[in-house]
Amino acid sequence: MAVGAAGTVLRSPDSQIWTAADVGATDELVDVASGNDTYVALGELGRAFTSGDGRVWNLQSYGTGSYLNQLGYLNGQFSAVGIDIMASVDGVAWTKKHAGTAALKDICYGKDKYVAVGLNGAVLTSSDGALWSTRISGTSRNLSSVAYGAGNFLAMGYFGRVLISTNGTVWVERNAEAVLGDTEIHDLVFANDRFVAVGSVGGVFTSSNGLIWTKRTSGTTESLSAVTYAGNQLIAVGSNGTLLKSADGVTWRSGRTAVTTTHLNAVARGNGMFVAAGNDGEVLRSEDGVTWAKVNSEATARLDQARFVNSDFWIVGEKGTLMTSKDGVTWSQRSLGISLANTTLRDISFGNETFVAVGWRSGHGVVLSSPDGLSWVKTFTSTNKPVDGVVYAKDKFAVVGDFGTILTSNDGVAWTQRNSGTTSFLIDIAFGNGVFVAVGKGGTVLTSTDAFAWMARTTDTAANIWAVDFGMGTFLATSFSGSFPTILASKDGVGWSEQDIPAAGQLGGISHDARSFLAVGSGGAILQAHVPPATFAEWRAQEFSSTELNQPSVSGAGGDPDGDGIINLLEYAFDLEPKTPSRLGLPTGRLQDEGSGRRLLLSFTRRRTAADVAYSVQVSGDLSHWVEASGFSPIGTNDLVSAERVTLRDDAPVNSAATRFVRVAVTHR
């Protein structure tokens, strides 16, 4: 589990494939820890988030507006440090254990003792986590991390200094500046009989005793913010989505398993597969969007766009690159002829038995047409403005380009310029729900129902929008400013909203299949977002293979392929995973003290898009006869990616209500 800015939560069963989760907030999440069958993520100003499975998160309050910096599950409880020290057994109910003046940055546990460190050399210790004593560290330097191992406590920070203590009370400062240099140490862990420290500029250092340190090659200059040991390996994370792995702390490799690090500019879907294209002739192929393979396209130029048109894949790019394939594996190069050899092609479409390709040459727009994709002619010469995107819809081609250029044609030969009402550079165009949508620089979005009259729309971004796609009733557009990517969504092209996505650098092309959208970008980044199913049948099709779908005992409503005792219908209804055995994420109950007495709170996950299941609360006195309950009032919901977490409160206090069992029933309609 990894957390970060803007409410980012990523989870992975194997540290290979990471999936974004939604905490329902945009807090900066500073740390995450797990224990007592619960994940806890620290947010801002008194906010924490808890989850049983890493998918469904609930907002909690730790009762202070102070900023907490670090969290750990230590000696049977969650402990968090900042200006205050907070503790919780379950991540829900928090108790302030210490209110001090030191800004604490980290906490650890060893030798039956808690040790916390912070700014200006602050060191505090406690034997029970409740009563804390200030210790003399012997330094006024900031301490950012502390760990216990090999019989010693180690505290580290800035300026190459290391503090060592055998008991947490008496500390000795060691100078490791010769090795650490000016690296700012951000985190420290003891694993595999050695301390491992990570920090700024990709710094990784190891030591068996805390005295002698060795600098290791991390392969990155990104700042590393945290390191942990799990699954028999060390994992370090840092800025711009950096993820590193090591079996021993000595040899490190990138944890990203992308098949390429080449910038990908475009992606298309057709014939049961995705095809992605990028710089230096890079072409990738995937059937599911998860597992990718490189393809030898024999191209060397930058590839700018990939489309699936007229039953074939087409890729266009620099130096007149134009190539086609039926299977995404074997590619045929098409020639534009000597006169157009240096043309940069930016897009291609097909309609009215005609191919149209657009781009530029020597700063002037180029529009080409072909009846068969083999022989091409230049059909429009009246614009000196480069053109970038083309789509065929409503019996016409629509082309967009620089300085607000928009062209339309019924046949791909005779073209008419249209007034876009803007001088912004337009980069891409798509059609859906009866609407043309053009996007471009500075957050520009234009819409039209006929491609003739256009209207500007407002988005919350001023960043350049590089691509737009329509699928499953939704427009999605990719945008980035610097290295910060954004995906915008709209049902009608008019109102747009930003989507929560993992850090992925620059994003460009976007496409979709029947169940997911897929975006590509810098460093070989590939993001995939699955669209929540609306029925149990759609969910089965997403979760099970064609072979499994023919086995009702595996994929049927009563099947339980992972053997965790939760049948598929309930896995679907409660937004669980049918092939990952876990009972976390099921309905939960707890008691809450209120002025009128203790009341039962019942929480469960309800799939927002499910049109074929009904949820109800039932009660029973003997576990045999169940009736629908009355007197449970909703007190809140927490929006999730594909579901919502609903909390109900029993109107009757526990001390005045009859003894009874309570359950959440699911009915398949």
Give the tokens for residue 496. 């747009």
Specify the CATH number for 336-530; select among 2.120.10.80, 2.60.40.10, 1.10.1740.10, 2.30.40.10. Answer: 2.120.10.80
- Residues 6 or more apart from 391 whose CB is under 8 A from it? 349, 397, 398, 429, 430, 431, 436
- Do 147-257 and 336-530 agree at the fold level? no
Tokens 């337009």, located at residue: 426
* pLDDT score at 257: 55
Task: Count other C-beta atoms under 10 Å from residue 573's C-beta.
Answer: 27
Architecture of domain 258-334: Beta Barrel (2.40)
Is residue 652 packed enough to be buried (19+ CB in 10 Å), middle (13-18) or exposed (0-12)?
middle
Please write the tens of the pLDDT for every residue from 159-198. Answer: 788 999 999 999 999 989 889 998 999 999 999 899 999 9
Q: Do 57 and 22 contact (CB within 8 A), yes or no? A: yes
Identify the H or E element spanning 546.
helix 546-549
* pLDDT score at 642: 60
Fold of 1-100: Lipocalin (2.40.128)
Give the tokens for residue 368. 């080409």
* pLDDT score at 384: 81
Tokens 């019942």, located at residue: 602
Give the tokens for residue 640. 């999730």
* pLDDT score at 256: 62
Is residue 405 packed enough to be buried (19+ CB in 10 Å), middle (13-18) or exposed (0-12)?
buried
Is residue 21 packed enough to be buried (19+ CB in 10 Å), middle (13-18) or exposed (0-12)?
buried
What does pTM read for this prediction? 0.60
What whole-number distance in Å separates Cα of residue 188 and Cα of residue 482? 30
Ranges of residues in the chain whose predicted pLDDT is under 70: 17, 64-66, 101, 256-258, 338, 381-382, 482-483, 500, 502-504, 636-643
Exposed e or buried b per residue across 308-345, where buried means at least 16 C-beta atoms within 10 angstroms of its C-beta: bbbebbbbbbbebbbbbbeebeebeebebeeebeebbb
What whole-number distance in Å separates Cα of residue 271 and Cα of residue 274? 8
Please write the tens of the pLDDT for every residue from 36-94. Answer: 889 999 988 788 889 888 877 888 887 766 678 899 999 999 999 988 898 999 888 88
Architecture of domain 588-668: Sandwich (2.60)
What residue segments make up the domains of the chain, in order of their start? 1-100, 147-257, 258-334, 336-530, 536-573, 588-668
CATH code 2.30.30.760 for 147-257:
no
